[in-house]
Amino acid sequence: MKKFFFVSLLIPTLFSCSVNQHTLQKKYADLLTEESAKSHLTILASKEFAGRGTGQEGGKKTVEYIAKVFQELGLKPAVNGSYYQPVNLVKSSYVVEQFNLNNQTLVNAKDFYVTGSNAFRNFNASEIVFVGYGINTPSYSDYAGQNLAGKVVLVINEGEPMDASGNSLITGTSTLSDWSTSRSKRLQEVMKQNPALILSANSQAAEMIKRFGSRMTSGSYRLKSSDKETTNNSTAAPVVNITEATANQILAANNTSISKFKQTVSSTKKPNSSVLKASLNASMGSKKENLFDPNVLGVIEGTDLKDEVLIISGHYDHDGVLPDGTFFPGADDNGSGTVGVMEVAKAFAAAKKAGRGPRRTILFMAFAAEEKGLLGSDFYSQNPVFPLANTVACLNMDMIGRIDNKHLEGNHNYIHAIGSEMLSSELKAINEKANQDFTQMELDYMYDDPKDPMRIYYRSDQYNLAKHNIPVIFYFSGLHPDYHTPNDTVDKINFPMMAKREKLVFHTAWEIANRDKKLVVDKTPPPASGR
């Protein structure tokens, strides 16, 4: 009877503690409001912040804004007294300063686009060698009698010669040869002849330029491997992809066109290469630029378990402004996740100030250059400020502000919680319990399917922590028609859902940061092949 009496007294006490914890968490979670989220996001997605582009002025303003918010909240700088961890980047761009064809000025990404990595140089020619389809076989060769070394070469980079019956002159049947099925094959053949420059004409060039435009001039980015790395420019000829209309302007010098050329070859069953009188003057080549866009890090130090670290993250960069002036606000991608990091930081900072700080240290991190290949998180994983062995989890927010195509006509009260059980048998349960107790959303796990064709789990920053066996959740509201377009604007954000999603991250983080034992890592993740 005494034992029963003791337990009966204890149960109300435990229930009271549970209620108090619930009330306490909700008190701080309620600081995450629609109004606050909208205030931050309206600024970050404004023209003043210019799409938060890597290496651009808008990116610089963004990191200053985030650091200021962290400072005002009382978060400690994490990197030797600074909120910034510079990420050593190299930007490689193909720059076309001049391209003049037959006294007509053409513009890269408007009239043509270039692929190449040659050193910057001048190209001057008074004639262009036209090699038709650029095919070279024992029975049919567009190169017979032509010397291409050091010349400007025009090639039709698609199709192959056909006779009047629709049979290939290469295979002798209606089945096309690998000269048609492999577009790179004929370019490789032209390269063997050591030309100075290749003009590659195909019917898809105009559509490519229309669809991607200035994006094709934005360059590529990578992490810098060392301060002593050398520039390895290619000696291969650059390939200038031109439209059929531009090719026909060149061919007009011989009173022909692509269609007339094809008809001639079809009727004669012979190659019809020629030398065209044409002027070409160009100055172009590959240039490299060192960039140091930083990750932004702010810390709330833990108490008795402060050596263990929870990361709450989101990338701040987006597509910025293109050379033609196109502006990408990136309100959802990833202005929403960036705001989420700052808002969750606000709630934990308020708890810390009131003497309710987390037991484990929480690192709030806004990653750089995610859009360029997850480079900011990759850099952090190689140069961690806190030991990765002591990092217990990463909760990453990337696009948490919209309703995706899947849920548009159905339930809007949802979030994709990606990767929660990839490495830990406990993390998914913690997230589900937090959702059950506080936010009551549909937790969509569709992207956890190993056969997911989009490979979403591998496409945001948390993956660079998961590679080091750190349990992660990627919070994601899903894809929508405005993804990576100038139409990803603040007016389309669902702020009630955005705030609710932030609260789920907060409640999940609260449990992870305050539980007695760190999360177990007891699962083997799926292979990353196909990323």
pLDDT tens-digit readout, 357-410 = 999 999 999 999 999 999 999 999 999 999 999 999 999 999 999 999 999 999
Q: Give yes or no: residues 326 and 375 share one domain.
A: yes
* Residue 300, domain member (yes or no): yes
Distance from C-alpha of 295 to C-alpha of 120, rounded to nearest angstrom? 32
Please report the pLDDT score of residue 490 as a whole number: 98
Q: Give yes or no: residues 300 and 435 share one domain.
A: yes
Please report the pLDDT score of residue 233 as a whole number: 76
Q: Taking residues 297-312, report their average pLDDT.
A: 98
Please report the pLDDT score of residue 16 as a whole number: 42
CATH number at 159 reads: 3.50.30.30
C-alpha distances in angstroms, 323 versus 53, 217, 310, 391, 407?
A: 12, 8, 39, 40, 35
Please report the pLDDT score of residue 382 as a whole number: 97
Token pair of 524, please?
């083997």
* Residue 523, domain member (yes or no): no
Check pLDDT > 50 for residue 10.
Answer: no
Distance from C-alpha of 517 to C-alpha of 39, rounded to nearest angstrom? 37
Determine the Cα angle at 277 with ends 273 and 280, to 5°: 110
Q: Give yes or no: residues 271 and 242 share one domain.
A: yes
Please report the pLDDT score of residue 230 as a whole number: 59
Can you give the residue range of the structural domain that contains 361?
25-87+292-514
pLDDT band at 1 (very low <50, low <70, confident <90, very high): very low
Last residue of a domain, one of 244, 264, 287: 287
SS3 sequence, 205-261? HHHHHHHHHHHHHCCEEEECCCCCCCCCCECCCCEEEECHHHHHHHHHHHCCCHHHH
pLDDT band at 66 (very low <50, low <70, confident <90, very high): very high
State pLDDT tens for residues 166-201. 999 999 999 999 999 887 899 999 999 999 999 999
Last residue of a domain, one of 271, 287, 303: 287
Pairing of strands 112-115, 239-242: antiparallel
Q: Give yes or no: residues 334 and 428 share one domain.
A: yes
Q: Give yes or no: residues 264 and 320 share one domain.
A: no
Check pLDDT > 60 for residue 243.
Answer: yes
* Residue 5, domain member (yes or no): no
* Residue 344, domain member (yes or no): yes
Please report the pLDDT score of residue 213 as a whole number: 85
* Average pLDDT taken over every residue of the chain: 93
Last residue of a domain, one of 287, 309, 342: 287
In the block, residue with structure tokens 């210019």: 50
- Which of 326, 264, 335 is CA-nearest to residue 490? 335
Q: Taking residues 64-68, report their average pLDDT.
A: 98
Q: Give yes or no: residues 47 and 111 share one domain.
A: no
**434 and 405 Cβ atoms separated by less than 8 Å:** no
Q: Give yes or no: residues 339 and 443 share one domain.
A: yes
Q: Give yes or no: residues 388 and 241 share one domain.
A: no
Share of the chain above pLDDT 70, in %: 94
- Which of 342, 331, 301, 300 is CA-nearest to residue 31? 342
* Residue 480, domain member (yes or no): yes
Q: Give yes or no: residues 186 and 130 share one domain.
A: yes
Please report the pLDDT score of residue 20 as a whole number: 83
| Number of folded domains that form the chain | 2
**327 and 51 Cβ atoms separated by less than 8 Å:** yes
Q: Give yes or no: residues 171 and 194 share one domain.
A: yes
* Residue 18, domain member (yes or no): no
CATH number at 434 reads: 3.40.630.10
Q: Give yes or no: residues 279 and 410 share one domain.
A: no
Token pair of 220, please?
């590529």
Token pair of 73, please?
């909240």
Q: Give yes or no: residues 158 and 190 share one domain.
A: yes
Cis peptide, bond prior to residue 405, ω within 30 of zero:
no
Determine the Cα angle at 374 with ends 82 and 360, to 5°: 50
Min mean pLDDT across 127-136, 230-239, 333-342, 446-455 is at: 230-239
Better-predicted residue by pLDDT, 275 or 2: 275
Please report the pLDDT score of residue 132 as a whole number: 97
* Residue 525, domain member (yes or no): no
Check pLDDT > 80 for residue 18.
Answer: no
- Which of 399, 364, 289, 374 is CA-nearest to residue 56? 289
Q: Taking residues 283-311, report their average pLDDT.
A: 97
Q: Using only C-alpha atoms, what is the Rg of the chain?
A: 29
